[in-house]
Amino acid sequence: MKIRTADWKNEKHVPVIHVKEVKFNEPIEVTVVVGEEIPHPNQPDHYIAWIELYYIPENGETPFQVGRAEFTAHGEVKVWTEPRATFTVKIPGPGKFVALSLCNLHGLWMGEKEVK
Ligand SMILES: [Fe+2]
């Protein structure tokens, strides 16, 4: 499966990463959103299934998985989980966050944000 990083058509799949305030060795809030500018469909036959967040240290050490959020309600019983997740994480130094998201129809998508 190919990981896509640029969007097409009228839906937004690329996960956007927001870091509230960059600090090292202290808890920081990292929010990942799919469909921030143009909402992605959230219905039983077309939805964002999950978001994963990784931290990749600048020094080339192994990437770490920060967390994963699964979205399991897409309007089947009039409940919708929005494709956004906030993780609280402590990181040791500069690097980047990488987020992956999976659309059940359009595959795997990736977004990145450097932290310095
Ligand atoms: Fe999609």
46 belongs to the catalytic site: yes
The CATH superfamily label for domain 3-115 reads SOR catalytic domain (2.60.40.730)
40 belongs to the catalytic site: yes
106 belongs to the catalytic site: yes
The catalytically annotated residue of 18, 46, 96, 113 is 46
Q: How many CB atoms lie within 10 A of CB 97?
A: 23
Q: How many CB atoms lie within 10 A of CB 15?
A: 28
Over residues 12-29, the pLDDT tens digits come to 899 999 999 999 999 999
7 Cα to the center of ligand 1, angstroms: 10
pLDDT tens series, the chain, 116 aa: 788 887 766 668 999 999 999 999 999 999 999 998 889 999 999 999 999 999 999 988 899 999 999 999 999 999 999 999 999 999 999 999 999 999 999 999 999 999 99
Q: How far apart, in whole angstroms, are the C-alpha atoms of residue 116 and residue 106?
A: 32
The catalytically annotated residue of 96, 106, 112, 113 is 106
The sign of the CA dihedral 17, 21, 23, 27 is negative
Asked if 46 and 33 touch (Cβ cutoff 8 Å), the reply is: no
pTM summary value? 0.92
Domain boundaries, the chain: 3-115
